[in-house]
A and B are shown apart, each in its own frame.
Chain A
Amino acid sequence: MQDRQVFDEIFGVGDGQRPELGALTDWIGQMPVADLKRRHDAAEAAFRQIGITFAVYGEEEAAERIIPFDILPRVFSAREWASLTRGLEQRVAAINAFLLDIYGERRILRDGIVPADLILRNPQFAAPIADIRPPKNVFAHICGIDLVRTGPTDFFVLEDNARTPSGVSYMIENREAMLRLCPELFAMFPVQAVDGYPDALLSTLRSVAPDRATNEPVCVLLTPGPFNSAFYEHSFLADNLGIELVEAADLEVRDDVVWMRTISGPVRVDVIYRRIDDDFLDPLVFRADSLLGVPGLIAAYRAGNVALVNAPGTGIADDKAIYSYMPEIVRYYSGGEALLPNVQTFRCREPEALAYTLDHLDELVVKLVDGSGGYGMLVGPTSSRAEIDRFRAALKAEPHRYIAQPTLALSTCPTLVEDGLAPRHVDFRPFVLTRADGITITPGGLTRVALREGSLVVNSSQGGGTKDSFVLGDPFLTQSQSLEGMHQSQILPDLFTDPATGGRA
C-alpha cells in the first residue's frame, strides 16, 4: 500500500517502522474498512447537523460546504514534539523580535542582514503604524507555523502565518470527534489534551491589556461577519473564550477610547482579538472604502487605550519575499542556527534565481508572493504544458512577484478514500501563543491532507481535508501538560468546524 520512498507518518519509510506506533498499525490492520467508513460517515453527518460549514469564495451563500474530515490520525511522539516545540519557540520569538526591530530601531537593516528596500518598500510594511509600540511589546500573539516533513527528523517551515491564522477550531473539534468515534485509540496512547487552547488564548489576550485594565480587561473577538468563510471558527472561539463576538458596527471610538454598543449602554473595550485584515481595520488609516473597519481604531491603539491581537503590521513577517531570509533573521535574534529550517527558496526578483526557475519550471513549485489559499500557484510536476507556459509568461513579466521552491517529497499519512486506505500527503500547522511573559504551544495542531491522489495542495478550497493530530505525552508525565486548569467539560462538545481559509499552501 505504501510508497516506501516517501516517509509515512504512521508506517515510517523503507523498512524503518516507527516502533512506538506498533499498536496503531495493528489497529489499522485489524479494522475493517467498512467500520472506518461508518465512523467517518457519522462524523460528517454530525458536521451537517451542527452546521459547521464554510463558504468557498465565489460561490453562492447557499453553497455552504463541510470540510472533509479523515478518521485516521497522525501522531507525534513525545520526543518529536519536544524538538518541534524548541524550534517553534525559537522561530516565533525571532518573529516578534524582528517586528519590534523593524518598527523600531531597524538594527537588522543597518547591519545589512535583510535588504532595507525589501522591508520599507514592501506593501506589507505598515508605514502608518511604524512608530507605534504595541502593549507589552508583543506583535504576533498568535502564529500558525506551517510545517512539512520529508523524513523521520526532517521538518521544514513552509510558511509563517503571523496575521490572523485560522484552523485552530479544527484542532479542538476534530479531537472531540475522535474521542467520540475512536475512543479505543485514547486507551492505547497517552494523547495530550488540546482543549486547554481557549484558556491559553484568553490568558494571552488578558496579558497584553492596557495597564489601566489589567484587573478585569474586556476582551472581544472582531469578525468580518457571518459571510466570512471562517465565521464558524470566530463564533466557536468567542463562545469558548466567553467573550463577545463583535462586528465593526458594534464598536465606536470616542476620544481615542473604544466602546461597544450594548443594550445597557456603551462598554469600554480593552483587548480586540481581530480576525479581519490590517487593510480593513480602520478606514481613516488603511483602506478608506472598508465597511468592516472601525474609524479611529488605530488612534485608540496609538494612544495605548486598546490592544490589537495580532498587532497591525505583522504581515511583513510572513511575507513570502521575507520568508527566504528567515534563517538569517532567526540567527540574528536568537544567536543560534534555526532549529527548524526553511524550504530552499529561489527569489525570482534575483536574476540568477529567475533564470534557474525558468529552466526548471516542471520540477518546481512557483508561488505568488502575495497569493494565498493555494490560488496563484504552480505545482510543476503535476501541471499541464499550458499551465507551465502561462506561469512562464507571468514570471517574465513580473518576476518580483514570485518565489520558487523545489517540490518536496511531503510525508504521507494513511487516509480513508473511495477504495479503502491509501497514503495521502499531509502538512501541519501548530498554533504558537505569545503572552506578555512567554510562549505557549498547545500539544496538537491542524493537520491538512491533500485528498486527491498525488496532490500536494492541502488547502480546503482546493480539495483538502483535515485529520486529528495526536501528540503523545511522556507516559509518566501526561497529566501535567494540561493548561491552566482547563477541564474537558468546559469545552462545548461541538464537532468540527469550518476551514482554514486564511491558509496558504
Chain B
Amino acid sequence: MLSRTAASLYWLGRYIERAEFTAQLVEATLRLDQLAARPAGSEAWSSALAVATATASFEATGAPLQPADVAQYLLLAAANPGSIRSCIDAARHNARAVRTALSREAWLSINRAWISVRGHQHLRDSERILNLIEEVKADARGFEGALNRMLHNEARAFIALGTAVERANGTARLLDVKYHLLLPQGEAVGGAVDRDQWTGILRTVSAVTAYRWLYRQGLRPWLVADFLILRDELPRSLMASMERIVTLLNRIGQRTGMQGEADRLARRQRGAMRGTSIDSLFQGGLHEYLGRFIGDIADLDRAISQQFRFT
C-alpha cells in the first residue's frame, strides 16, 4: 500500500470520529443547557468550546457566547478547522483521494454525509441543530457499518487506527475539561447541576446506560473517571482505544513486516494503564495524568506517521 494512501485512510478515520464526537458533544451540551434545574448557561458552552480546543478561535470571531452561535461554530463554521463541516470535508477529500482502497459502501456513506452537511447553512433553533446532529451520527454509524463489511486488510486497519487514536484523544480532553470545571479543588460533589453535568459527559461518549449496568452505586465522579479511563468494555474509553491501537499496529506489522517506534509507544502506554488503578491516578492528580496522556497520544501520532512514511 502506498504511504500516501495509508496516511489518507488514517486521517479519514480520525476526521469521521472527530465529526461524530463533536456532534455528540454539542448534543450533550444542548441537553445540559435545556434540562438543568439551574440554567447551565454560558459555562456549558464555554466548556464545550474548551473540549473541542476551539476557545481561542471562537473568541477571535467576536461572536457572543450564545448557544446558537457556539453550535453554529462547532457544527458548520468553515473557518473552524474542527467543525463538523470541516471534518466531513476533510474526510471526503481523503476518501476521494484513496477511493480505490475503500469499499463502495464506505465511500457512499462518506459522500452521503458530505451531501447532507452541505444542505445545512444556518442553525436558527435547536430543532435544526438536533436534526443535523442526528444525520451526522447516522452517517458515522453507516460508515462504521460499511467498514465492518470491508476486507480485513491494511486499508481497514489504517482507518480503524485513526479512529482509535482520535477516540483516545477526544475522551481524554472531554474528561479533562469537564472534571476540571466540575470539580474545583476542595468543593463538595452533589446537587442537580452536577448530576446533569456528569450525565452529559457520559452522553458524549454514548455511555449513559452502560454506566448504570456497570456501576450500581449511582453517579460518582471517580467512577465516571474509572469508566472512561480504565474500563476496556467501553469502546470510547482510553483503555479500549489503547488496546485497539496495539492490536491494529500488530495486524499492520504482520502484513507489512514493519514494526517500530509506534508499536513500542503503544505497548508501553497500554502496559502502564493495565497496571494502574483509578485511586493511584487520582493521587497523582487526574488533570496531570490526562495532560500526560494527551501528550503521549500526540507522540504516538507522530511515531505512526514516521513509521509508515506519511510525509
Contact = CB atoms under 8 A, between A and B. Distances in A.
Contacts of B104: 492, 494
Interface in A216-242: 225-226, 231, 235, 238-239
A48 interface: yes
Interface in A30-69: 48-51, 62
A263 B252 contact: yes
A263 B1 contact: yes
A262 B3 contact: yes
B87 to A, nearest CB: 16
A180 interface: no
A250 B2 contact: yes
A261 B107 contact: no
Contact of A264 (B4, B115, B258): B258
Nearest to A238: B100
Nearest to B158: A263
Contacts of B98: 245
A50 B309 contact: no
A239 B99 contact: yes
A72 B78 CA distance: 41
Contact of A48 (B1, B107, B115, B257): B115
A263 B309 CA distance: 7
B112 interface: yes
A279 interface: no
A206 to B, nearest CB: 19
Q: Chain A interface: which size bin? A: 20 to 34
Contacts of A50: 107-108, 111
Contacts of A238: 100
Contacts of A231: 96
A195 B1 CA distance: 26
Interface string A58-93: 000010000000000000000000000000000000
A235 B3 contact: no
Contacts of B256: 263-264
B97 A225 contact: yes
Interface string A255-287: 000001111110000000000000000000000
A363 interface: no
A471 interface: no
A247 interface: yes
Nearest to A244: B2
Contacts of A23: none
B308 A263 contact: yes
Residue in A50, A62, A226 with the greatest tally of chain B CB atoms within 10 Å? A226
A51 B3 contact: no
B166 interface: no
Contacts of A249: 4
Nearest to A231: B96
A246 interface: yes
Contacts, number: 58
Nearest to A62: B118
A235 B1 contact: no
A492 B103 CA distance: 10
A261 B258 contact: no
A247 B100 contact: no
A49 B111 contact: yes
B202 interface: no
Given A263-B252, A263-B308, A264-B256, A51 B107 contact: yes
Contacts of A48: 115
Contacts of B245: none
Contacts of B178: none
Contacts of B270: none
Contacts of B17: none
B287 interface: no
A463 to B, nearest CB: 24
B11 to A, nearest CB: 14
Contacts of B108: 49-50
A250 B4 contact: yes
A260 B2 contact: yes
Nearest to B311: A249
B100 to A, nearest CB: 4
Given A49-B111, A249-B4, A264 B257 contact: yes
B7 to A, nearest CB: 9
B100 A263 contact: no
A51 B1 contact: no
B25 interface: no
Interface string B287-311: 0000000000000000000001100
B93 interface: yes
A47 to B, nearest CB: 11
Interface string B1-43: 1111110000000000000000000000000000000000000
A265 B97 CA distance: 21
Given A50-B111, A238-B100, A263 B258 contact: yes
Interface of B: 1-6, 93, 96-100, 104, 107-108, 111-112, 115, 118, 154, 252, 256-258, 308-309
15 contacts: A49-B108, A49-B111, A50-B108, A62-B118, A226-B97, A235-B99, A238-B100, A239-B99, A246-B2, A261-B2, A261-B3, A262-B2, A263-B6, A263-B258, A263-B309
Nearest first, the 9 closest Cβ-Cβ pairs linking A and B are A264-B256, A239-B100, A51-B111, A235-B99, A263-B308, A261-B3, A226-B97, A263-B6, A226-B96
